[in-house]
């Protein structure tokens, strides 16, 4: 089967991650132990996760004219993502300053940089959306841009998967163009006013929805159809950062391949679990072989 064409519209950040014995207090300087620089931002993570999961991934987004932009573009492309449409905006790239303590606490400052000015999709960008099987979007870029992409996708018959993170209220115009919503408890509350106690409230606003519940699995529902819990795969938790991104991307790839949605949610659960057993976000996104191996390793817990 041809690889499904998945366009991811969203953010790209350079994550600057320092590890130290403890987090610094106000005005304190702490001597750190390690430093790494990795590609991040939900858009970039999900584009990389799509490529790893076996989809033909295209990223639509904006990077800055600084050296971080150059590095980001090269690293995301090296993961197998088509970066030919990425915009270079004069100024700084999105940056996340992350401090992690030996005890596992962390503190993060994100400056959106170029992501904040990613607006007004061009004909070429809209053409990529229209030519895709699936559009995947999140909310770390202006919501007007997400809406514009979703409306173009809807018109062209491209399926729209919205991972509504970080939590915020959404315009009715955008919700009306969503085919499949992926949210966690907090994000669900921001949209329907209800979380895990009543996930079916999401079906008042979108035709299909997934509510992810970490190690407790996920809930899947479709309007007028199936509503069911999909258990998680049992893995030894190391770091669940990126699990939601791995989940959303694998789900989009499986749906783009024409798989049944409940089966697609199960396969996506294997992707989320495979990510949770490794440290890091974009570096721990699982390959298709890893997802398949966990998926086949037996029934979810």
Among 180, 235, 281, 291, which residue sits at the site for ligand ADP (rule: CB under 6 A)? 235
Q: Given the residues 245, 260, 292, 299, select the one marked as catalytic.
A: 245
Active site residue 239: no
Among 40, 61, 217, 286, which residue sits at the site for ligand ADP (rule: CB under 6 A)? 217
Per-residue x/- mask for ligand ADP, residues 113 to 152, rule CB under 6 A?
Answer: ----------------------------------------
Listed in sequence order, the residues at least 6 apart from 91 whose beta carbon sits closer than 8 Å to its beta carbon are 64, 65, 66, 113, 114, 117
- Alpha-helical (H) ranges within the chain are 42-52, 67-78, 123-131, 143-156, 172-175, 185-192, 243-256, 261-276, 288-296
**β-bridge mates for residue 222, sequence order:** 208
- Please, which residue, 149 or 271, has the CB nearer to ligand ADP? 271
- Closest by alpha carbon to 133, among 152, 160, 155? 160
How does DSSP assign 9-67, residue by residue?
A: E---EEEEEEEESS---TT-----SEEEEEEESHHHHHHHHHHHTT-EEEEE-EEESSH
Among 38, 276, 291, 294, which residue sits at the site for ligand ADP (rule: CB under 6 A)? 276
- Please, which residue, 68 or 233, has the CB nearer to ligand ADP? 233
Among 43, 55, 244, 286, which residue sits at the site for ligand ADP (rule: CB under 6 A)? 244
- Please, which residue, 4 or 195, has the CB nearer to ligand ADP? 195
- CB 231, CB 268: distance < 8 Å: no
- CB 160, CB 63: distance < 8 Å: no
213 in contact with ligand ADP (CB under 6 A): yes
Per-residue x/- mask for ligand ADP, residues 80 to 99, rule CB under 6 A?
Answer: --------------------
Among 78, 109, 237, 283, which residue sits at the site for ligand ADP (rule: CB under 6 A)? 237
Integer Rg of the chain from CA: 18
Among 233, 255, 267, 295, which residue sits at the site for ligand ADP (rule: CB under 6 A)? 233
Active site (catalytic) residues:
245
Residues in contact with ligand ADP by CB under 6 A are: 165, 184, 212-215, 217-218, 232-233, 235, 237, 240, 243-244, 247, 269, 272-273, 276
């Amino acid at each position: 089967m041809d690889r499904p064409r998945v366009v991811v519209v969203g953010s790209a950040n350079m994550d600057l991650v320092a590890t130290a014995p403890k987090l610094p207090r106000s005005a304190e300087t702490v001597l750190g132990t390690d430093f790494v620089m990795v590609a991040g931002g939900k858009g970039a993570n999900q584009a990389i996760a799509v490529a790893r999961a076996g989809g033909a991934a295209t990223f639509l987004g904006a990077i800055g004219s600084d050296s971080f932009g150059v590095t980001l573009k090269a690293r995301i492309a090296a993961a197998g993502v088509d970066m030919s449409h990425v915009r270079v905006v004069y100024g700084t790239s999105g940056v996340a300053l992350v401090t992690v303590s030996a005890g596992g606490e962390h503190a993060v400052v994100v400056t959106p940089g170029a992501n904040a000015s990613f607006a007004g999709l061009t004909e070429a960008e809209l053409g990529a959306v229209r030519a895709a099987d699936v559009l995947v979007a999140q909310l770390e870029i202006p919501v007007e841009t997400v809406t514009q992409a979703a409306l173009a996708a809807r018109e062209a018959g491209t399926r729209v998967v919205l991972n509504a993170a970080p939590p915020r209220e959404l315009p009715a115009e955008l919700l009306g163009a969503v085919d499949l919503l992926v949210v966690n408890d907090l994000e669900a509350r921001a949209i329907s006013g209800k979380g895990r106690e009543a996930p079916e409230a999401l079906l008042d606003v979108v035709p299909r929805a997934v509510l992810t519940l970490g190690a407790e699995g996920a809930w899947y529902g479709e309007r007028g159809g199936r509503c069911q819990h999909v258990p998680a795969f049992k893995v030894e938790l190391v770091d669940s950062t990126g699990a939601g991104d791995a989940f959303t991307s694998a789900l989009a790839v499986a749906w783009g391949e024409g798989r049944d949605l409940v089966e697609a949610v199960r396969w996506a659960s294997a992707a989320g679990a495979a990510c949770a057993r490794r440290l890091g976000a974009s570096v721990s996104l699982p390959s298709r072989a890893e997802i398949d191996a966990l998926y086949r390793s037996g029934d979810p817990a």
